[in-house]
A and B are shown apart, each in its own frame.
Chain A
Amino acid sequence: MISVQACLDGILLGILFALIAYGMALQWGVMNIINIAQGDLVILGGYIAYFMYLYGIHPAWGVIVSPIIMFFVGIAIYKLVINKVVDRDLFISILATFGISILFMQLMNFAFGADVVLANSDYGTTMLFNSNVVLPNSKIFSAFISILFAICLVIYMKKSKLGRAIRATAQNARAAKILGVDTEKVYAATFGINAALCGVAGALISITFTIHPYMGLPYTIRSFMIVIIAGLGNLPGVAMSGMGLGVFEEFADYILGTEFRIGSVFLLLVLILVYRRFKLSRKREYLK
């Protein structure tokens, strides 16, 4: 029964990871930037929902408010930093976003304090299998909302004008520019959408789990891992590997103990990269 519990927990958690990873894949594909600050954007989104909770508004509304605020935060970051590194060496952009990550971490630490907090949603729990498996309703709610947002975004990317411009830029930025797409605007919008997705995920995380200013980096690493397992532009793959990662984490937590949870995530990243490297080197190729 405990394994059923861990599986279900993992799947519900993994859907959230997949949402964050989708944002990561979007900006990676379009702008060729790996955003180390991704996780910190998530945590910032979570704090917005937490603050609504503190002022007596139900934190579930954070799902709507937080992406709107985060969209503008994302655009601000793009205008200030990212547009200066977007066409430079990848290492430069990694280092720059690492700087943003440290900055955000510390600013959040000042603004909200170093306590582990959670926004209580009062959703109760669902019992399954003779109450051997306990699922908080908030987790089910968050998985449902994530799927909803992901579907909306996919449709938006397929149908709308901006979505088509984003996809065109991802395929070939130069050709898109020639055909009259304002790539600068597209980049800004992409980064904003990514931040908004982080905002949604963060609000959901603050309802279902806990948030803490320094918890950002593991979310970045998780989303990076999901993207490299699934490959860029492979949406079902992102969802599947997100859930797989969630299940892995719940089992690692259960078997090794909570203190090794984050460590096991980072080790898994190293192992996956090394595995892919050996697999590719047989064909005399390499990850790049």
Chain B
Amino acid sequence: MNKNNILLYSGILIFGIAAPFLFPAFKVQLSILCVLIVLATTWNIQGGEMGYNSFGNILFYGLGMYLCASVQVGMFFPLAEWTESGGEKTFVHTPAQFFQGMAVGLIVAAVVPTIVAGLIGYSILGLRGHYFAICTLGLGVAAGEISGGIEIIGAGQGFTTPPFPDVGSLESRGEFFYFLSFFVLILTFIAVRGIYTTRFKLILNAIRDNEDKAEAMGIQTMKYKIVGWMISAFFCGLAGGIMGGLVGYIDSTDVAFDGREMGVFMVLMAILGGKGTLWGPIIGATVFHIFKEGFWTFFLGWQYVALGVLIVVIVIYFPEGIMGWLREKYPERFGEVVDEKDRKAQVELK
């Protein structure tokens, strides 16, 4: 790590810690941004690096969301009575109960999706290309439809997560969730950055570039694919658990397994920033979130139309993303040696 990097990271860290005090009105938005970056970065592990484009990471996100809230309620109160309408008014979490429940809930929300990913990984990751994409799309939608039919987690009418207890000022809820999500973001970044320096990342890239050859070279591709998918699931579940507490209300198809919004967002953000790079998804998520929050109000009611157009435009005109564009423009910065004659010849050819 050189001097520039230390400066950059400490700058981001200081900004991250100071942000809720600098922009107190945007605390919730900043927390959502952190969650979005986590989702985009972890989607990138198997979408960008491994080449397995999944629409189904929303499965782990929704699973984490439901698990965290269920554990948080179920540890202290009967879950079935809670989810019947008005349960959250009869039972009130004390602050200690709330934080204990949240801590245990987040652990469960991270671990169980990881196990689920490990269990289904062997079957699902044997599919390739568009079959994998469609299969995971089906998984996500099926999970949403099925969870919408289960009574104990609120079925069609939704699940109210425990309200934040009355500690300190009114602002403490926003700060708590912001620092929680920022902490998870840092955790994710360190983990992903660590992974990207190991042989594991090279193996994932080998799988993306040519799986058959990687297998012929003696790499047990299935093992690595499952591990990559599990890492993704771990952070998706964690992000889902936080998001559930942040939104305060879980609905099966509109919040938890929202393939039409979050499920596409994470793919879109990673592609917008640049697949298969460390910083791409982070930049993509930030740009996307700012664009979304900045312009969503203009489109009042037309958000999804704008979203649809946005998807088509990004996919058609910027498939390489921001990082890909930068890479083409300034290849020297990315450590690529460019022959000056070669470049001139290319320009003349065009």
Within residues 305 to 330 of chain B, which ones have a CB less than 8 A from any CB in chain A? 305, 307-312, 315-316, 319
Is A270 within 8 A of B311, CB to CB? no
Q: Are B141 and A266 in contact (CB under 8 A)?
A: yes
A95-B128 contact, Cβ under 8 Å, with A103-B312, A257-B149, A259-B149: no
Cβ-based interface call for A254 (8 A)? no
B210 at the binding interface (Cβ < 8 Å): no
Bound CA–CA A109/B312 (angstroms): 19
Query: Is A106 in contact with B319, judged by CB distance below 8 angstroms?
Result: no
Query: In whole angstroms, what is the CA distance A281 to B215 when docked?
Result: 14
Asked if A94 is at the interface of the complex by the 8 Å CB criterion, the answer is yes
Q: Which of A85, A90, A270 makes the CB contact (< 8 A) with B315?
A: A85
Check B149–A96 contact: CB distance below 8 A. no
Given A263-B142, A267-B142: A99 and B130 interface contact (C-beta under 8 Å): no
**Interface residue SS majority, chain A:** helix
How many angstroms between the C-alpha atoms of A270 and B123 in the bound complex? 10
Query: Which of A3-11, A51-59, A123-131, A271-279 interfaces with chain B?
Result: A271-279
B251 to chain A, nearest CB (A): 14
User: Does the CB pair B135–A260 fall under 8 Å?
Assistant: no
Contact B309 A90 (CB under 8 A): no
Answer whether A278 and B126 are a contact pair too, CB < 8 Å, given A94-B134, A270-B135.
yes
| CB-CB nearest in chain B for A273 | B135
Q: Is A156 an interface residue (CB 8 A)?
A: no
Query: Is B260 in contact with chain A by the CB < 8 A criterion?
Result: yes
Assess whether B130 is in contact with A270, with CB atoms less than 8 Å apart: no
Is there an interface contact between B139 and A266, defined as CB atoms closer than 8 Å?
Answer: yes
Per the 8 Å Cβ criterion, residues 251-288 of A in contact with B are 257, 259-260, 262-263, 266-267, 269-270, 273-274, 277-278, 281, 286-288
Say how far A146's CB is from chain B's closest CB, in angstroms. Answer: 24
Are the C-beta atoms of B130 and A102 separated by less than 8 Å? no
In whole angstroms, how far apart are the Cα atoms of A73 and B306 in the complex? 20
CB distance from A267 to the nearest CB of B (A): 5
Does the CB pair B315–A99 fall under 8 Å? yes
Q: State which residues 108-131 of B face A: CB under 8 Å.
A: 123-124, 126-131
- Interface hits, A96-150 → B, CB 8 Å: 96, 98-107, 109-110
Q: Is A175 interfacial (CB-CB < 8 Å)? A: no
B130 and A106 contacting across the interface, CB-CB below 8 Å:
no
Q: Are A263 and B146 in contact (CB under 8 A)?
A: yes
Contact indicator A262/B145 (Cβ below 8 Å): yes
| A277 vs B319: C-alpha distance when bound (angstroms) | 29
| Binary contact readout A209-244 vs B (1 if CB under 8 angstroms, 0 otherwise) | 000000001000100100010000000000000000
CA distance A89 to B128 in the complex (A): 13
Interface of B is mostly: helix
**Contact (A107, B130) CB under 8 Å given A263-B146, A269-B135:** no
Cα(A166)–Cα(B188), bound, Å: 50
Residues of A close to B149: CB separation below 8 A = 257, 259-260, 263
Say whether A95 contacts B267, CB under 8 Å.
Answer: yes
B16 partner residues in chain A, CB cutoff 8 A: none
A217 to B304, CA, bound (A): 15
CB-CB < 8 A to B126: which residues of A? 274, 277-278, 281, 286
Say whether B304 contacts A103, CB under 8 Å: yes
Interface residue? A79 (CB, 8 A): no
In the complex, whether B148 has a CB less than 8 A from a CB of chain A is yes
Shortest CB distance B143–A (Å): 8
Known: A96-B312, A105-B304, A278-B123. A34 touches B142 (CB 8 A): no
Q: Tell me if A91 is interfacial: C-beta within 8 Å of chain B.
A: yes
Establish whether residues A269 and B131, one from each chain, have CB atoms under 8 Å apart when the complex forms. no
Interface centre among B142, B260, B271 (most CB of A within 10 A): B142
Chain B: CB-nearest residue to A277: B126
B128 touches A269 (CB 8 A): no
Question: Given contacts A85-B316, A94-B133, A99-B312, are A270 and B128 in contact (CB under 8 A)?
Answer: no
The reply on B78 being an interface residue by CB < 8 A is no
* CB–CB A287/B128 < 8 A: yes
Q: How far is the CA of A221 from the CA of B53 in the complex (A)?
A: 17
Q: List residues of chain A with CB under 8 Å of any chain B CB.
A: 34, 81, 84-85, 88-92, 94-96, 98-107, 109-110, 217, 221, 224, 228, 257, 259-260, 262-263, 266-267, 269-270, 273-274, 277-278, 281, 286-288
The contact sample of 10 A-B pairs, CB cut-off 8 A, is: A90-B130, A91-B130, A100-B312, A104-B308, A221-B137, A259-B148, A262-B141, A274-B123, A274-B135, A288-B131
Closest 7 CB pairs of A and B: A103-B308, A99-B311, A263-B145, A266-B142, A106-B304, A102-B308, A99-B312
